[in-house]
Amino acid sequence: MSVPVEATVKPGAARSPLREFVASYARSRIAVAALIVLLLILAVAVGAPLISPQNPYDLKQLDIMDSKLAPGSKSGAGWIYLLGSDDQGRDMLSAIFYGLRISLGVGVLSTVAALAIGIVVGLISAYKGGWTDAVIMRIVDLQLSFPAILIALILLAVTGQGVDKIVIALITVQWAYYARTVRGAALVEKRKEYVDAALCLGYSAVRIVLRHIMPNVLPPLIVVATVQVAHAIALEATLSFLGLGMPITSPSLGLLISNGFTHLLSGKYWISFFPGIALLVTIVAINLVGDQLRDVLNPRLK
């Protein structure tokens, strides 16, 4: 079973497995809508500098006279702030576009890195067994018995703010889960006949693990990782909101929301509200796509 990358899914582009996959994915209209929304968000995140009305972090383009304008207000230069402006006179729409870029970037980067680490550690654990396995699994157990937010908080309280630090924190809270899942799946695969066959052919252990076991363990994990990106984004936003995440130079959605929080009580809702909606739509879209992928690819449900 293979997991086609979403971008390569074109109806009719390939033979039956892919077409079947597309057809069963499309069975849920909500999931299709979520996929379209997600692709749009990705496009916005990638193309933020091209489509934003203003570069929100170029101070020359900001006009302090335009600060805290309500959505739909006209700027001093004559164009319209569709979603209003913040206390610096920054166009909220542009800030959200740039924020999406940062939030998604951090979420995807940390999840991919955690997945890679988890796979390596999980495979080592499953293959080596014995003491190595016991020690690794105790560490995983210890870590998973605390909530992710607490571990991330401890790390950031010790290391301080920074993009690199929050990425490290997000990797740290995610790897253990993948390691455990990979180990479990690899142990099941290890007992299967094709592994015996490969052993009989005299293949090296490394080759069997990487070329035979890993491809069979990977697909369900990638689906889980899709949903995990949403968790990572939410966690980053939460940490940034608490003032422990992103530095002020990399304003993610969470930081925008945090910035607007002080103005929320005085009725200037848009500074906080719209970045929140962007965050929400992103998280829900990723969740819906991930859930549908899981249902489609889950052999038990077929």
Residues making contact with another protein (CB under 8 A)? 141-142, 144-150, 153-155, 157-159, 173-174, 176-177, 180-181, 224, 227-228, 230-231, 234, 237-238, 241-244, 257, 261, 264-265, 267, 269, 272-273, 276, 279-280, 283-284, 287, 294, 298
Shortest distance (Å) from residue 240 CB to another protein: 10
Shortest distance (Å) from residue 75 CB to another protein: 25
Shortest distance (Å) from residue 259 CB to another protein: 12
Nearer to another protein, 94 or 238 (CB): 238
CB 223 within 8 A of CB 299: no
Nearer to another protein, 147 or 219 (CB): 147
Shortest distance (Å) from residue 178 CB to another protein: 9
Nearer to another protein, 20 or 141 (CB): 141
From the list 7, 91, 90, 213, the residue with the least C-alpha distance to 82 is 91
The neighbouring-strand residues paired with 85 are: 91
Nearer to another protein, 56 or 290 (CB): 290
Nearer to another protein, 19 or 68 (CB): 68
Q: How many CB atoms are closer than 10 A to CB 62?
A: 19
Tokens found for residue 298: 């889950």
